[in-house]
């Protein structure tokens, strides 16, 4: 990270569970605890690194400079061990720590510590103790057993995709079990000149692994490309399930209930077609001929189901991706809690706990690596005048995204209005725009006479901490708003 990158990083990010600002902290034991707590929090969140920055006031993020010199600092006491040696000696497992020093034009100095956890496979200890961040405080990991459990599960989950689903197979046997024709077509590999080239691609994509003169099919290969998922018993309960109910409660009788029979990549298009066929439709004669319009846009359904598949937590036992269709809503869920705050889905780069699955589904054109999926969901819902998505986290076991049927602004609850205003603000912000009373009236197709009602809704969203003024000194009629995490005039 260069100086310009660091300054932009400071401007964009507040202190968090993976980032801490200090002015002149020099005590080796305190820095060691931060390495453990920030590093473990990064592991828990699935991030490749955590950071500390010296020379910054932690609340205001004012650049004040620092006198901390990491490569000259020594521990207190009789031994006077260099700080870097101390951290290397008393941190277990060994963590790659990179200190970088910067000098600004006004001679103020900043120090950046990058705590690289990409290759760590167990919780980080300092002096034999494990720490974790709770908000912006360092705590003993043992005091938070749920975080400790999830941290250990994060190591297990990362191994799942590459574990063997079936072993010691010939390539002909692999061809019998996996839909290699689909793989070749979806990966645009029809020009390959030999079976050896095809095998090399399958190896590079972690679909299979070589073992002597034979091959293993990985869980990743079986889960995505199986011709019959029952051939892989431990994966059978991981396929997506689609249920349609008669009514608006799970207590109502289901009129459709089906679980996937093939690999999720092979069956993905059919899953989307099945869901769309089960949605309620309305009739549209605006162009002179009848057109059936589904309750929810296909692009939103597609992106949310793809997200549910790729972001699921394979360590959660007895659970699977689920699509539940009711008369007035659809719920799409996946095992596991998200790795980032759900309110940041739209602006953060995508982060999957299942990197190999995400990579392969990207190559098969099922998910995007650019992270524009949620943008498409929010935009498509707005285009059809639908309420914004509602995201619910059910402990560490499940993430549920709910889409609701169309309703008038006046019929929405305060929470529903808050959701719609917040996601509207996010969509505008990433396009370098701000929302206002006027943009919201346009979003909800409201006349000018509804300005007071919209202002009240904006006030509720501000009070809920979801949006904030872009320019606090703007007049009431010219006031614009951005998401709570955006950069306002004062900090730009």
The string of pLDDT tens digits covering residues 256-289 is 999 989 999 999 999 999 999 999 887 766 666 6
Model confidence at 58, in pLDDT bands (50, 70, 90)? confident
Cα→Cα distances 470→10, 421, 428, Å: 19, 15, 12
Cα→Cα distances 5→1, 12, 112, 253, 344, Å: 6, 10, 11, 56, 21
Burial call 245-284: b when 16+ CB within 10 Å, e when fewer: beeeeeeeeeeeeeebebbbbbbbeebbebbbebbeeeee
Nearest to 331 by CA among 273, 283, 394: 394
Q: Range with the lowest mean pLDDT among 30-34, 91-95, 129-133, 303-307?
A: 91-95
Predicted local distance difference test score (pLDDT) of residue 404: 94
pLDDT higher than threshold 60 for residue 183: yes
**What's the mean pLDDT in 411-420?**
92
Give the helix/strand (H/E) hosting 302.
Answer: helix 298-310
Beta carbons of 115 and 39 less than 8 angstroms apart = yes
**What's the mean pLDDT in 59-64?**
88
More confident residue, 431 or 341: 431
Model confidence at 350, in pLDDT bands (50, 70, 90)? low
Q: 10 Å Cβ neighbour count for 31?
A: 22
C-alpha 102/C-alpha 26 separation (Å) is 17
DSSP bridge pairs for 215: 169, 210
Predicted local distance difference test score (pLDDT) of residue 286: 62
Predicted local distance difference test score (pLDDT) of residue 370: 57
Beta carbons of 309 and 240 less than 8 angstroms apart = yes
Q: 10 Å Cβ neighbour count for 491?
A: 10
User: How many CA atoms does the CB half-sphere of 58 hold within 13 Å?
Assistant: 12
Task: Give the phi and the psi of residue 161 in degrees, each rounded to 5.
Answer: -60, -35
Predicted local distance difference test score (pLDDT) of residue 372: 66
DSSP bridge pairs for 50: 115
145 SS3 class = helix
**Per the structure block, which two tokens stand in for 434?**
């701000």
Share of the chain above pLDDT 90, in %: 60
C-alpha 388/C-alpha 301 separation (Å) is 13
Q: What is the mean pLDDT of the chain?
A: 89
pLDDT digits 0-9 by tens, 358-394: 999 999 999 876 556 888 999 999 998 899 999 998 8
Burial call 318-347: b when 16+ CB within 10 Å, e when fewer: ebbbbbbbbeebbbbbbbbbbbeebbebbb
Residue with token string 């799409």: 332
**Per the structure block, which two tokens stand in for 42?**
């990064």
Q: Which residues contact 348 (CB under 8 A, 6 or more apart)?
A: 340, 371
Q: 10 Å Cβ neighbour count for 410?
A: 10
Q: Which residues contact 174 (CB under 8 A, 6 or more apart)?
A: 180, 202, 208, 215, 217
**What's the mean pLDDT in 227-239?**
93
**Per the structure block, which two tokens stand in for 31?**
């820095």
For the sheet with 208-211, list strands across it: 164-169, 214-218, 208-211
C-alpha 487/C-alpha 67 separation (Å) is 29
Predicted local distance difference test score (pLDDT) of residue 25: 92
pLDDT higher than threshold 70 for residue 399: yes
**What's the mean pLDDT in 148-152?**
83
Work out the widest C-alpha separation in the chain, in whole angstroms.
Answer: 89
pLDDT higher than threshold 70 for residue 457: yes
Nearest to 334 by CA among 347, 323, 326, 349: 323
DSSP bridge pairs for 391: 401
Predicted local distance difference test score (pLDDT) of residue 239: 92
pLDDT higher than threshold 90 for residue 4: no
Beta carbons of 467 and 458 less than 8 angstroms apart = yes
pLDDT higher than threshold 80 for residue 481: yes
**Per the structure block, which two tokens stand in for 230?**
């029952």
Q: Where are the alpha helices (DSSP H) in 330-372?
A: 355-363
**What's the mean pLDDT in 230-246?**
93
Beta carbons of 62 and 114 less than 8 angstroms apart = no
C-alpha 261/C-alpha 230 separation (Å) is 7
C-alpha 481/C-alpha 392 separation (Å) is 25
C-alpha 84/C-alpha 74 separation (Å) is 8
pLDDT higher than threshold 80 for residue 129: yes
Model confidence at 397, in pLDDT bands (50, 70, 90)? confident
More confident residue, 179 or 367: 179
**Per the structure block, which two tokens stand in for 160?**
């799942």
Beta carbons of 66 and 24 less than 8 angstroms apart = yes
Predicted local distance difference test score (pLDDT) of residue 156: 61
Predicted local distance difference test score (pLDDT) of residue 346: 82
pLDDT higher than threshold 80 for residue 154: no
Model confidence at 157, in pLDDT bands (50, 70, 90)? low
**Per the structure block, which two tokens stand in for 233?**
């018993």
């Amino acid at each position: 990270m260069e100086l310009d990158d660091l300054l932009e990083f400071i401007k964009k990010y507040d202190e968090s569970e993976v980032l801490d600002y200090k002015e002149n902290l020099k005590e080796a034991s305190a820095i060691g605890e931060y390495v453990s707590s920030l590093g473990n929090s990064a592991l828990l969140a699935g991030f490749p690194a955590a950071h500390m920055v010296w020379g910054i006031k932690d609340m205001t993020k004012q650049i004040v400079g620092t006198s901390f010199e990491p490569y000259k600092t020594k521990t207190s006491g009789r031994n006077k061990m260099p700080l870097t040696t101390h951290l290397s000696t008393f941190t277990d497992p060994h963590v790659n720590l990179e200190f970088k020093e910067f000098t600004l034009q006004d001679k103020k100095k900043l120090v950046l510590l990058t705590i690289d956890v990409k290759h760590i496979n167990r919780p980080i200890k300092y002096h034999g103790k494990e720490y974790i961040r709770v908000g912006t405080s360092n705590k003993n990991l043992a005091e938070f057993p749920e975080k400790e459990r999830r941290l250990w599960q994060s190591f297990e989950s990362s191994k799942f995709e590459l574990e063997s689903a079936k072993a010691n197979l010939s390539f002909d046997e692999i061809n019998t079990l996996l839909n290699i024709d689909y793989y070749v077509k979806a990966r645009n590999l029809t020009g390959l000149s030999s079976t050896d080239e095809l095998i090399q691609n399958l190896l590079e994509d972690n679909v299979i692994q070589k073992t002597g003169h034979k091959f293993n099919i990985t869980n990743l290969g079986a889960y995505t490309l199986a011709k019959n998922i029952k051939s892989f018993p431990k994966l059978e309960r991981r396929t997506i399930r689609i249920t349609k109910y008669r009514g608006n409660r799970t207590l109502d009788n289901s009129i459709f209930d089906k679980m996937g029979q093939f690999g999720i990549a092979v069956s993905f298009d059919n899953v989307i077609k099945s869901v769309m066929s089960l949605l309620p439709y309305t009739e549209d004669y605006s162009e002179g001929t009848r057109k059936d319009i589904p309750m929810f846009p296909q692009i939103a359904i597609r992106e949310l189901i793809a997200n549910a598949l790729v972001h699921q937590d394979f360590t959660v036992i007895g659970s699977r991706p689920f699509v539940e269709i009711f008369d007035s809503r659809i719920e799409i869920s996946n095992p596991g809690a998200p790795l980032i705050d759900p309110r940041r889905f739209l602006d953060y780069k995508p982060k999957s706990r299942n990197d190999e699955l995400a990579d392969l589904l990207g190559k098969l054109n099922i998910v995007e690596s650019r992270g524009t999926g949620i943008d498409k969901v929010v935009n498509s819902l707005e285009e059809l005048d639908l309420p914004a998505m509602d995201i619910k986290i059910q402990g560490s076991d499940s993430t549920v995204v709910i889409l609701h049927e169309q309703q008038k602004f006046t019929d929405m609850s305060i929470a529903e209005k808050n959701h719609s205003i917040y996601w509207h603000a996010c969509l505008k912000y990433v396009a370098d725009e701000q929302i206002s009373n006027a943009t919201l009236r346009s979003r909800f197709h409201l006349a000018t006479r509804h300005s007071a009602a919209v202002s009240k809704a904006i006030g509720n969203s501000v009070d809920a901490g979801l949006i904030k003024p872009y320019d606090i000194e703007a007049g009431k009629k010219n006031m614009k708003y951005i998401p709570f995490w955006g950069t306002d005039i004062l900090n730009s």
